[in-house]
Amino acid sequence: MPRAGPSQSQPSQYRSQRLRRRRADTEQDDDSENDSPNVDQDDTMDIDDHLDKKARDLVRLALFSEHKRVLLRREDISKKVLGSHTRSFNTVLLKAQVLLRKTFAMELVELQARNYRDQDPAEDLQNATGVKKKATAAGSKTYILRSTLDSAIIEQAALSDERLLEEELAKGPNDDDDDDDMPRSYGSIIAWSTADQLAALGLLHVILALILVTGRAISELDLKANLKRLRIPPGGTIPSNAQSTHRSMPVDTFLQQLVRQDYLDRVRLGDTKSMTGKRRGRFSLTQGNAEDNPQAYEWRWGSRAHSEVGEQAIARFVGEFMVERTRTADVEEEEEEGTGSMEKRLETVVKAIERAAGGNLIDVK
């Protein structure tokens, strides 16, 4: 009996199986292509979340540093915040600035380098041989927090309000309680009793004013003599507010603190290296020796004073004080002259301070 031949249906079965495998492979490729955008989107979201977290960490570090009045250095940011992601510094900084401005009305400001700040603006960048000098870097890679509030808002918050003062006095201790440790009531939005050390802050502004009107630099002996005229001898102390751990601070310790916080610079006379590096060692106005002679040093503004206070504000502070002290006894005459005359006298004093400083007064940087 003859053997049966191959079935005619087998070739068609083979073709249908190949077609099904091709369709399955095509569908699998399509699924993988559709999944790839989701993976990229997830990665992007993870990166954004990571940068947002780093920005929040930078905000916390900046607030902590400002509370301690410690300069925030870029190397500290890289070490404590960025870690191995140092290339994302600019992105993290921008995100942190948004959080600071929106939430705390503050911003991070980079301090200027001293050698850039102290260089002569009229100095030609080319030496005698015609070779162009290397431009000095402006940034110091150190940062502070500075308020972004408008000055008008701060002035209004500092004014006393009678109703607010009455409420504070009603809620406060009795008048019979004569306790210096109790905070005083001022009737203003700003709580001066719990604010920065007012005596130390006032003395800082006086020292900055003395430096400004003596040509932006004052010798250590002259500074010592001026403080003595203000009844602050070298061995004296500066009072602190009721919330402080110590009730007073020695003058030497206070000046060392101002140097450490970069409000002041103590520079050795005739030492060119002192222009590019700070001397932050311990010193004393009450002692002098051959190695650390007070005659060999002078005091200047630090980078923080330029970025936080500004020469124009100090000049106006001095001008307003002097104009107020020189007001005539005839109140009616003052009222007839009006505020215009007061402003003219203030402008005259500010211009005199500008001449004493030796150049145009600089605003905050």
Question: Structure pTM?
Answer: 0.74
Q: Do 61 and 144 belong together in one domain?
A: yes
H or E element, residue 117? helix 114-117
Nearest to 73 by CA among 84, 65, 63, 85: 65
Any idea what DSSP says for residue 126?
Answer: B
CATH number at residue 58: 1.10.10.1200
Residue 304 pLDDT greater than 60, yes or no: yes
177 and 276 co-located in one domain: no
Report yes or no: 305 and 208 within 8 Å, Cβ to Cβ. yes
When pLDDT is cut at 50, 70 and 90, the band that residue 218 belongs to is: very high
Mean pLDDT along residues 243-255: 82
pLDDT digits (tens, 9 = 90+) for 67-79: 888 999 999 999 9
For residue 269, CA distances in Å to 259, 298, 305 come to: 17, 7, 21
Co-location of 142 and 226 in the same domain:
no
Q: Tell me, yes or no, whether 228 and 143 share the same domain.
A: no
The residue ranges of DSSP E strands in 9-90, in sequence order, are 72-73
Residues 226 and 322 in one domain: no
Q: How far apart are CA 109 and CA 365, in angstroms?
A: 9
Per-residue pLDDT at 279:
46
CA distance 25 to 243: 76
Which uninterrupted H or E stretch holds 158? Answer: helix 151-158
Strand order of the sheet with strand 106-112?
Answer: 72-73, 139-147, 106-112
**Residue 332 placed within a domain:** yes
* Per-residue model confidence as pLDDT tens digits over 19-58: 666 665 555 555 544 444 454 555 566 888 899 999 999 9
CA distance 16 to 226: 104
| CATH code: domain of residue 240 | 1.10.10
Q: Which two tokens stand for residue 176?
A: 């019979």
- Residue of 116, 113, 104, 108 whose CA lies nearest to 72: 108
Same domain membership, residue 265 and residue 350: no
* Residues 260-289 pLDDT 10s: 999 999 998 876 554 444 445 556 665 554
Among residues 286, 307, 328, which one ends one of the domains? 307
Q: How many CB atoms lie within 10 A of CB 304?
A: 20
The Cα-based distances of 286 to 217, 218, 236 in angstroms read 20, 17, 10
In whole numbers, what is the pLDDT of the chain averaged over residues?
78
Is 32 among the domain residues? no
* Statement to judge: residues 315 and 267 lie in one domain: no
| DSSP string for 310-350 | -HHHHHHHHHHHHHHHT--S-HHHHHHHHHHHHHHHHHHHH
301 and 216 in a common domain? yes
Give the span between the Cα atoms of 253 and 249, in whole angstroms.
Answer: 7
Q: Examine the fold and report which residue of 275, 307, 339 is the final residue of a domain before the chain moves on.
A: 307
228 shares a domain with 297: yes
Judge whether 190 lies within some domain: yes
Residue-level pLDDT at 163: 84
DSSP state of 113: P
Whether residues 264 and 324 fall in one domain: no
Q: Tell me the residue range of the domain where 165 lies.
A: 160-194
Q: Which amino acid is at 236?
A: G
* Spatial contact of 65 and 72, defined as CB atoms under 8 Å apart: yes
Residue 34 lies in a domain: no
- Among 225, 228, 232, CA closest to 200: 232
Residues 216 and 244 in one domain: yes
User: How many structural domains compose the chain?
Assistant: 4
Q: Pairing mode, if any, of strands 139-147 and 72-73?
A: antiparallel
Together in a domain, 292 and 344: no
Report yes or no on 268 lying in a domain: yes
What gap in Å lies between CA 238 and CA 276, rounded to an integer?
31
Mean pLDDT in residue range 318-344? 71
| Strand-pair partners of 268 | 297
Is residue 2 a part of any domain in this protein? no
Query: Looking at the predicted structure, is the pLDDT value of residue 63 above 80?
Result: yes
d(CA 318, CA 256): 24
Residue 13 lies in a domain: no
Residue 244 phi, psi (nearest 5): -80, 155
Q: Pick the closest to residue 314 from 260, 364, 266 (CA basis).
A: 364
In a domain, 49, yes or no: yes
Q: What are phi and psi of 98, to 5 degrees?
A: -65, -45
